[in-house]
Amino acid sequence: MMTGPSDGREPGEPLYQGLKREIRDRIARGDWAAGTRVPSENELVAEFGVSRMTANRALRELAAEGLVVRVKGAGSFVADAKGHSALVEVRNIADEIRARGHDHRAR
């Protein structure tokens, strides 16, 4: 049962956040590879001693973050890893236009 700091949660942290972290950690460790079925809400309830609503919220938020994919009637699955950069380069549009040999004028 997820009850407090001894279960890996921060003091005052909502249960769903602790559950999200545990699922995220299992995926990061490679316990669950891409395409692997994540335990159902009912299985998470039994394993972690949380309510079904807590399990549902954790899975919904992980799906919104792109870490899991939920398929109605089939369950939740670990999403394919997507390569992404932590940095995004934002360039000045005027510089881009000049670099392509055109004039840029603001009106």
Helix axes 15-29, 41-48, angle to 10 degrees: 100
Please report, for residues 24, 37, 40, the alpha-carbon distance to residue 7 in angstroms, rounded to integers and kept in the order given. 15, 24, 21
Q: How far apart are the first and last CA of the chain?
A: 63
Q: d(Cα 46, Cα 4) in Å, to the nearest integer?
A: 17
The structure's pTM equals 0.69
Residue 30 falls within a domain, yes or no? yes
Report the number of distinct structural domains present in the chain: 1
Domain CATH number, residue 31: 1.10.10.10
Residue 102 falls within a domain, yes or no? no
pLDDT, residue 5, reads 40
pLDDT tens digit sequence for 34-82: 999 999 999 999 999 999 999 999 999 999 999 999 999 999 999 997 6
Nearest partner of 38 among 66, 78, 73, judged by Cα: 78
Residue 2 has pLDDT above 70, yes or no: no
